[in-house]
Amino acid sequence: MSWGISNFENDTSLEWAEELVQSNKVANIAKEIDNFLKNFKPTDTDMMTCCNFLAAAETVAAIKEDPADDIPETLEDWITANKIKPDEELIKKAIDGVNKIIRGSEIKEMYIGSQLYDDWMEVQKDLVQRLKRG
3 belongs to a structural domain: no
CB–CB of 105/42 below 8 Å? Answer: yes
- Mean pLDDT within 84-111: 95
Looking at the chain, the whole-number percentage of residues with pLDDT higher than 90 is: 90
How far is 90 from 54, CA to CA, in rounded Å?
A: 13
pLDDT of residue 1: 45
- Tell me the residue range of the domain where 17 lies: 11-132
> Which of 46-55, 81-90, 96-105 comes out lowest in average pLDDT?
81-90
2 belongs to a structural domain: no
Predicted TM-score (pTM) of the model is 0.95
pLDDT interval class at 113 (50, 70, 90)? confident
With a cut of 70, say whether residue 62 has pLDDT above it.
yes
88 belongs to a structural domain: yes
3-class secondary structure, 87: coil
127 belongs to a structural domain: yes
46 belongs to a structural domain: yes
As for how many domains the chain has, the answer is: 1
Q: 26-45, pLDDT tens digit by residue? A: 999 999 999 999 999 998 99
